[in-house]
Structure 1
Amino acid sequence: NRDRMVDCMSKVMLHTVVSCWQPFLGLAFMAVFVGSTLGCPSRCECSAQSKAVVCHRKRMPSIPDGIPTETRILDLSKNKLTMINPDDFVAFPGLEELDLSGNVISYVEPGAFNALFNMHSLSLKSNRIKLIPLGVFTGLTNLTRLDISDNKIVILLDYMFQDLHNLKFLEVGDNDLVYISHRAFSGLLSLEILTLERCNLTVVPTEALSHLHNLVSLHLRYLSISTLHPYSFKKLFRLRHLEIDNWPSLDHVPANTLHGLNLTTLFITNTNLSSFPYQALKHLPYLTHLNLSYNRIRHIEGGMLMELVRLRELHLVGAQLTTIEPYAFQGLRALRVLNVSHNRLDTLEKGVFQSPEALVVLLIDNNPLVCDCRLMWILQKGHSLFGDSQPECSTPEGIRGRPFKEFKETLLSYYVTCTKPKIRENKTQTITVDEGQQAMLRCSAEGTPRPTVSWLSPRRRVLTSRSHGRVTVHNNGTLEIKSAEVQDSGVYLCLASNSAGNATLMTSLAVKSLGSLYANRTQYYTDPSNTTANGTTGVTLGLDLKTILVSTAMGCFTFLGVVLFCFLLLFVWSRGKGKHKNNIDVEYVPRSKSNGTNVDSAEGQAGPRRFNMKMM
């Protein structure tokens, strides 16, 4: 019995041990089985769930052995690979993502990825590839993302991407690229996003880009292109986003550069533009976002952006902007965001906007703002308009440096005011200058804000500081007429205006004509009161005694000279009259008749005949 009990207890203990360790033994056998089927190269990290093999930064000189055939994601970045051969990846037909970036690859053999029909992402970034021959991407029919940036590629050959019909994203930047063949992008039927940056291109590859009929976003950054030609982006009918950034040599955008595009977003930043590209933007009625930051645009003229009816956001940060004229954003009913921070603006008037109440965000910080009545509409609108970027006043002295959010109603009524312009010389002036001399008509005005001065000429022409040529208006209000002419005479009206009102001053200019013995100069005297209904000024003509005497004398001298010349001809003719014979004797012999008969004997004996002619 005792032996039976011992034997029974032994069986019970053995059963207990087996039942307790059975799960652990199962896991051990499962691990051995999985390890034998997947495997993992030494020094690499593998994931059985995602079927990924990561050999990042392992200093491998070649593709390691032991990579499972069912691998989908393979990361071989930051190693020492020098070349890719056609048989390197033939054992991994299920590969979907391949990262070969950060190696020292200098050449990729044609057909290197020939069997990878399932691959959708390939990165060859940051290698030493100089040329990609035809056939390298053959077989990658399902590839959607390709990155060949940061290499030493000099040229893109014709049809080098022709098999990538499903490619959507292409990175080509940061190469030594100097030329893109006209058919280099042929076959990229599905490409949506293209980035070209940090290359040696000197012109936009218009012909090459024209094959990308489904391109949506084009990013052109850090290029040395100095000129944009008309129709530079032709046939890109689906292009919606265009970025031109860091072109330091670009100083002008011609009128038809963007013609034919249906852009919704346009960035032209960090260039040498010195004026707002009004004409180029007229062809973009669907534009909603415009960024012209970090250029040298100093002025925005009024009424020049009326075609941008869908524009919602306008950014002009750090553009050296000094003036935004009234009605500058006329027609922009959809404008919600305006960012003009970090400029040189002293004010932003309400009359600039079509719908100022529709603004949601207004960023005007880091500008030398003059806090007067022109900014009252902004101060009363609320501080939420500025977000965290609160603008500050540069003047007047009492509120200098104070952010807008600190202004109370009493403070506004005391400091934020305007005064009507006042012209110091408030009496009508009369200025007389000689013809050809310089004429200076002065009009100095003061007021808050500083008044702008313009002039009205006798011919009703408005003269401003933008007028160029012989007549200019200086910043201090002085009208300068270089080399005055007689027709400049008349009454000029100076108009000084600001937000509080206007002031005027009349100045009469008389230009004296310089008489000459050889030219008949006519003086024009303009009567300011003699004005017709259509605004034209009457002109009277005056002749002085000196002009009449000179003209009479010159006529007499001409007549006497002609008479004297006629007498001289008669005298010469009469002197030679007696030296010539008046009579001429003519002798002739009659000819026989043509029929051969003889003339009669009387005529034959008579001999030659003679007659006399007298010269009359």
Structure 2
Amino acid sequence: MWTSRGCSLLLLLLLLWFFLGNVAHSCPALCQCYGNVTVFCAEEGLVDVPEGIPANATQLFFVETSLGSIRSGAFANISAPHLRKLVFLGSPLSSLSEAAFAGLTSLQELDISSSLLTALSRESFQGLAGLSTLSLTFSPLETLEEGIFRNTPALRTLHLQGNRIRALLPSIFHPVRGLETLSLAQNGLASLAGRAFALVPHLQVLRLSDNNISSLPAEVFLPLPDLRELFLDGNALAMLPTGVFSQQSHLRRLHLQHNALQGLRTAIFSSLANLTFLHLDSNRLKELPEGLFEGTPHLVELSMAHNQLETLREGLFATLPRLTILSLSHNRLHRLTAGLFQGLPALARLQLDHNNLSGLPQDLLANLSGLEALDLSHNRLATLPEGIFDSNFALFYVALGRNPWACDCHLGYLADWLLYADPLVNAQALCRSPADLQGLTLPAVRREQLACPRRPPGPSRCRTEAQEPPEEEASPLTQCAYQDAEGGLQVTCDPEACHHLRLTLPPGDGGVPGAGQRFSGNWTLDNGCGRLRVEVSVTIEKETPLAGPASMETP
């Protein structure tokens, strides 16, 4: 009867038999051959192309060898007529001689990565008429000579990312007119000629990410009507010229993040009827023009995070019925209109975190029946209006952390909703007031703890109501908790007066003991109740100077 140890030993022997049985018995020195079709040469002692490559080999890899150059005709004497793929990875190649790959008539893919190549001969790729994929990446390659691709007319994919190419000759891609994918990312390109891509009209994927491009000629993409994906992220673009995307009706992905865009023209995306993904994050956008997305009805994902947006026009997203993901995080939004998100029936994820929101309209999320995730963290919210989630039947994730929540009677609706939510999601959602609940997490607050101070009989208004106060009222204050952005000042007021002030003084200046400490400041505080102006002047006389921040409370 076999024991578990015996079974494990048998399994190990079977695995060894499998791997050893697939290692070819005839293999070049310093190399390993698997199934006589894949050859790995990964020894530092290898300084030349070895002899004895199996005749039926289809893939040949040189990984971190000592190959410093490929001499002319280095592969001419090997008997591998079926070799399809040749890779040099991490070898110190510094030169490729003319006809370096002569004899590899069946080669379809050539990859030279992390080499020491700074230039290439125009005849280096002689004899590679059937090559379809060429990768020359992450090397100190600075220039591409005119005619360098004249021996590779069948190229469909060309990867040149991670080099030091600073300019492109307009004729560099002759005669590879059938090129479909081109990557020039992570180079030193500062500009593009207007006809830079005129010789590759069938291009579908163009990657220009992480260069130093500061402007685009209006006609640069006109010869590329088949373009599906365009990556312009990580550059220094401050504006986009009118009509720059006018011929890209098939474009599906457009990456413009991590640039210096300060504004967008109204019709800049009007020709992109099939656009699905649009990334505008990490720019300097302060506002978005009306009708910006009218020409992109198929948009599924839109990101505008890490900009400087303060307000958004109502109806801005009304023409995006397929939009599923919308990110507006890390902006300066302080107010949202009730109908801002109308017309988004497919919206599933909405990110509003890291803004300056102090209140939300009750109908902000109405009709978003497909909404599943909502991030409201890192704002200035003290409460949420009752019924705000009543239309969001699929909503299961709401992030509320890092807001100055006022845990009183006006938070009852939210407390009830959180009974069915994951408490870990809001472990950082803490009560800022009242004092007896300060520091308690929202999921831990019991409904009976949410109370408001008793007020004299008479008309009153809940701070979550949206109607305007009568003209004779100087302020819409009810039972409200105000706080500045740094949390150093907190004020609690009711309709009659402000009764509670909490002030954290900055550290003392280390002056002479007994000289006293003086502090004055003024704030304009906003929340769902309205605006409050606070001026404070404090003088403290002590025998010794204050050591660190002082905290005081005034009833």
TM-score (norm 1): 0.60
Partner AA of 2:431 in structure 1: C
Partners of 2:321 and 2:474 in 1: CA distance: 32
Partner AA of 2:226 in structure 1: S
1:456 to 465, 470, 477: 470
Q: Please state whether the residue corresponding to 1:323 is helix, strand or coil.
A: coil
User: Deviation at 1:40?
Assistant: 7.6
Q: Is the 8 A contact 2:88 2:113 kept in 1?
A: yes
Q: Deviations over 1:158-202 (max 9, x none)?
A: 333234344332211222223322222233233221111232322
Partners of 1:373 and 1:116 in 2: CA distance: 74
Q: Deviations over 1:77-105 (max 9, x none)?
A: 22222223432223223433322122222
Q: Please state whether the residue corresponding to 1:352 is helix, strand or coil.
A: coil
Partner AA of 2:373 in structure 1: V
Compared CA separation, residues 136 and 447, structure 1 to 2 (3 A)? same
1:299 to 313, 331, 335: 335
Unaligned runs of 5+ in 1: 1-22, 427-444, 466-474, 479-497, 500-616
1:43 to 42, 63, 66: 66
1:310 to 335, 339, 346: 346
1:396 to 416, 423, 434: 434
Compared CA separation, residues 186 and 397, structure 1 to 2 (3 A)? same
Partners of 1:29 and 1:280 in 2: CA distance: 65
Q: Which has the higher helix share?
A: 1
| 2:249 matched residue in structure 1 | 213
Compared CA separation, residues 139 and 217, structure 1 to 2 (3 A)? same
Partners of 1:50 and 1:398 in 2: CA distance: 76
Partners of 1:210 and 1:464 in 2: CA distance: 50
2:90 to 57, 61, 64: 57
User: Deviation at 1:291?
Assistant: 0.8
| 1:168 matched residue in structure 2 | 204
2:262 to 219, 222, 226: 226
2:450 to 406, 411, 416: 416
1:251 correspondence with 2:289: no
| 1:34 matched residue in structure 2 | 53
1:347 to 383, 390, 397: 383
1:150 to 183, 186, 198: 186
Partner AA of 1:257 in structure 2: L
User: Deviation at 1:284?
Assistant: 2.9
Q: Please state whether the residue corresponding to 1:376 is helix, strand or coil.
A: helix
Partners of 1:198 and 1:286 in 2: CA distance: 27
1:241 to 242, 262, 277: 277
Compared CA separation, residues 378 and 386, structure 1 to 2 (3 A)? farther
Partners of 2:246 and 2:151 in 1: CA distance: 31
Q: Please state whether the residue corresponding to 1:134 is helix, strand or coil.
A: coil
2:370 to 334, 347, 351: 334
Partners of 1:214 and 1:451 in 2: CA distance: 47
Q: Please state whether the residue corresponding to 2:425 is helix, strand or coil.
A: coil
Larger Rg: 1
Q: CA RMSD in A?
A: 3.9
1:278 correspondence with 2:314: yes
Compared CA separation, residues 229 and 392, structure 1 to 2 (3 A)? same
Q: Deviations over 1:40-68 (max 9, x none)?
A: 8763699x898433322323221264686
Q: Is the 8 A contact 1:226 1:251 kept in 2?
A: yes
Q: Is the 8 A contact 2:327 2:350 kept in 1?
A: yes
1:162-201 alignment runs, 5 A limit: 162-201=198-237
Compared CA separation, residues 393 and 456, structure 1 to 2 (3 A)? closer
Compared CA separation, residues 383 and 88, structure 1 to 2 (3 A)? farther
Partners of 2:262 and 2:90 in 1: CA distance: 40
Q: Deviations over 1:566-592 (max 9, x none)?
A: xxxxxxxxxxxxxxxxxxxxxxxxxxx
| 2:129 matched residue in structure 1 | 93
Q: Is the 8 A contact 1:383 1:404 kept in 2?
A: no
Q: Is the 8 A contact 1:372 1:449 kept in 2?
A: no
Partner AA of 1:52 in structure 2: K
Partners of 1:331 and 1:44 in 2: CA distance: 64
Q: Deviations over 1:400-444 (max 9, x none)?
A: 33334445xxx322x023467658xx7xxxxxxxxxxxxxxxxxx
Unaligned runs of 5+ in 2: 1-20, 29-35, 37-50, 69-74, 478-492, 497-527, 530-555
Compared CA separation, residues 456 and 29, structure 1 to 2 (3 A)? closer
Q: Is the 8 A contact 1:453 1:464 kept in 2?
A: no
Partners of 1:84 and 1:29 in 2: CA distance: 31
Partner AA of 1:256 in structure 2: G
Q: Is the 8 A contact 2:195 2:219 kept in 1?
A: yes
Q: Please state whether the residue corresponding to 2:281 is helix, strand or coil.
A: strand
Partner AA of 1:254 in structure 2: P
Partners of 2:274 and 2:408 in 1: CA distance: 47
User: Deviation at 1:464?
Assistant: 6.8
Partners of 1:279 and 1:133 in 2: CA distance: 45
Compared CA separation, residues 450 and 197, structure 1 to 2 (3 A)? closer
User: Deviation at 1:324?
Assistant: 0.8
Question: Percentage identity across aligned positions?
Answer: 23
Q: Deviations over 1:539-570 (max 9, x none)?
A: xxxxxxxxxxxxxxxxxxxxxxxxxxxxxxxx
| 1:260 matched residue in structure 2 | 295
**Structure 1 consecutive aligned stretches of length 4 or more whose deviation exceeds 6 Å:** 29-32, 36-42, 445-453, 461-465, 475-478
| 2:357 matched residue in structure 1 | 321
Between 1:270-279 and 1:208-217, the stretch displaced more is 270-279
